[in-house]
DNA sequence: TATTGTGAAGTGGTTCACAGCT
DNA sequence: AGCTGTGAACCACTTCACAATA
């Protein structure tokens, strides 16, 4: 498969969410225009995005909702469930553990870890928080696909190393630090400070341009 | 001022964070190579990014740390404090209210709101949660720069409308929905589901390529 | 020698425009 | 007529390469 632009992936994900909403309403086809609106793109871009992977629509008609949704799930690799481990059982960890978007879409939180002994043993959305030192042994017994880092910046790299060592191939990092990981490990960053700075920039001189 | 690419803004923010760390260590100059490493860029790109706004370095030497940091703060519009209102006092709201990255960099949380009567009156990081119906009157008395939306998807658009109506010019949205806002209002989205889908894509066929 | 500043070249993603089905 | 599929044109960001300077 040829290289796919990250921006394309983001849009495909948005199209898919929209298609799922359409499917719930029993809609049978959608136009590239409707998808464009949902994905913050132009109709031409929607068609380009999709044509990169195949011809899913019918000229003069549009795209069949359930079929296109299935294709997108296939393309995005969402045709299975993912085992997720969450490291960090603080306030952020608690918010993440309860986030419906996880379970809804096949991302199952398998376990929650924390180094803080006072948090170990607590319950978080039906899961008992485990000591971080168990992570390696646990994942050897039952590997995980994705590790979510919800710990302070200072300990994030250490957690990342532990996750990589335990065979995790994808990391979602909420700590405001760049993580160093080996080739072949995917990392996504969610960095509040960056978003705030971008908003500050947008608000510069006067207010709101 | 000419148009600045969003990717450039993100990098400038990363450079600035790195410079602040350098400043703490008393370092006097940095090279474009060091900045590149911190910002996930190449040295040439660092120089291009900076030269877009002026000539801040000295050939053969590098960039003076405190001066460049000051320039970046100026460029990003960080030379003042921002009044932030947080809507949503659930688990996510609690995590956000305690996030140090806010206060540290001039983003001051002025108030927290929630529609849920059972949450109103509770304390969150020293702030008392207020009823959402007060938002309009409160902001008329003391305007806010940035609104942070930490409510469920279903109520996010309503909150956005209320914020815009109350004169907020920039919104940071954690709900997994596209917000419709008038021209001139800046919106930044943090969408967990999108990031997870991107990781799923990275993990497709086999595991981890 | 080391490192910045920058025009020029290169790369990759987006938009256009129209042919091709229904 | 309506809407997709797609090569070609376009545009924007990135990288290159080297002159300029400490």
Residue B209 in any domain: the answer is no
A50 and A95 assigned to the same domain: no
> Of B21, B42, B75, which one is at a domain's C-terminal end?
B75
pLDDT value for B20: 97
B87 and B184 assigned to the same domain: yes
What gap in Å lies between CA B124 and CA B119, rounded to an integer? 10
Residue B1 in any domain: the answer is no
* Region A192-207 average pLDDT: 88
A17 and A119 assigned to the same domain: no
A101 and A65 assigned to the same domain: no
pLDDT tens sequence across A165-198? 999 999 999 999 999 999 999 999 999 999 999 9
A86 and A71 assigned to the same domain: no
Question: Binning pLDDT at 50, 70 and 90, where does residue B116 land?
Answer: very high
Inter-chain touch B192–A10, beta carbons under 8 Å:
no
Residue B200 in any domain: the answer is no
* Region B24-43 average pLDDT: 97
B117 and B134 assigned to the same domain: yes
A90 and A71 assigned to the same domain: no
Q: Distance, in angstroms, between A60 CA and closest chain B CA?
A: 28
**CA count, 13 A, side-chain hemisphere, A129:** 20
Any residues with CB less than 8 A from the CB of B42 and at least 6 apart, and which? B36
B88 and B182 assigned to the same domain: yes
Residue A13 in any domain: the answer is yes
A52 and A105 assigned to the same domain: no
Task: Please check whether strand C approaches the CB of A59 to within 7 Å.
Answer: yes
pLDDT value for B207: 38
Task: Please check whether strand C approaches the CB of A60 to within 7 Å.
Answer: yes
> Of B22, B57, B75, which one is at a domain's C-terminal end?
B75
What gap in Å lies between CA A65 and CA A29, rounded to an integer? 5
Identify the residues numbered 54 to 113 in chain B whose C-beta atom is closer than 7 Å to any atom of strand D.
Answer: 58-61
CB B91 within 8 A of CB B98: no
CB B14 within 8 A of CB B38: yes
* Region B81-87 average pLDDT: 98
- State which residue of chain A sits closest to B184, comparing Cα positions: A209
How big is the A-B interface in CB pairs under 8 Å?
168
The distance of Cα A10 from the centroid of its chain, to the nearest Å, equals 10
pLDDT tens sequence across A40-92? 999 999 999 999 999 999 999 999 999 999 999 999 999 999 999 999 999 99
> Of A38, A60, A75, which one is at a domain's C-terminal end?
A75
Residues in chain B within 8 Å Cβ distance of A146 = 196, 199, 203
CB B194 within 8 A of CB A2: no
Which residue, B10, B186, B164, is CA-closest to A199?
B186
One DSSP character per residue, B109-132 reads EEEEEES-TTTTT-EETTEEEEEG
Domain harbouring B171, CATH code = 3.40.50.720
Task: Please check whether strand D approaches the CB of B2 to within 7 Å.
Answer: no
Inter-chain touch B204–A172, beta carbons under 8 Å:
no
pLDDT tens sequence across A4-26? 999 999 999 999 999 999 999 99
pLDDT value for B101: 84
B67 and B91 assigned to the same domain: no
Any residues with CB less than 8 A from the CB of A4 and at least 6 apart, and which? A52, B201
What gap in Å lies between CA A79 and CA A71, rounded to an integer? 10
Provide the number of structural domains found in chain B: 2
The residue lying closest to nucleotide C7, measuring its CA against C1', is B48
Inter-chain touch A95–B92, beta carbons under 8 Å:
yes
Residue B208 has pLDDT above 50, yes or no: no
Domain harbouring B16, CATH code = 1.10.10.10
Closest by Cβ to A146, choosing from B14, B199, B205: B199
Q: Where in the sequence is the domain holding B48, given as residue range(s)?
A: 6-75
């Amino acid at each position: 498969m040829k290289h796919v632009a990250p921006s394309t992936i983001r849009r495909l994900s948005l199209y898919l969410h929209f298609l799922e909403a359409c499917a719930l309403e029993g809609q049978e086809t959608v136009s590239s225009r409707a998808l464009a609106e949902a994905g913050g793109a132009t109709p031409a871009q929607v068609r380009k995005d999709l044509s990169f992977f195949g011809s899913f629509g019918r000229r003069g008609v549009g795209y069949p909702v359930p079929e296109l949704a299935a294709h997108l799930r296939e393309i995005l690799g969402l045709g299975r469930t993912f085992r997720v481990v969450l490291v960090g059982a603080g306030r952020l960890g608690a918010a993440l553990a309860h986030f419906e978007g996880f379970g809804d879409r096949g991302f199952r939180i398998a376990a929650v870890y924390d180094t803080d002994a006072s948090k170990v043993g607590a319950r978080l959305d039906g899961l008992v928080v485990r000591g971080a030192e168990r992570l390696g042994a646990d994942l050897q017994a039952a590997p995980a696909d994705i590790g979510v880092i919800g710990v302070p910046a200072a300990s994030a790299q250490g957690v990342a190393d532990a996750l990589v060592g335990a065979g995790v191939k994808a990391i979602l990092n909420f700590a405001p630090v760049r993580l160093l990981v080996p080739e072949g490990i995917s990392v996504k960053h969610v960095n509040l400070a960056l978003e705030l700075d971008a908003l500050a920039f947008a608000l510069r001189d006067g207010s709101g341009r």
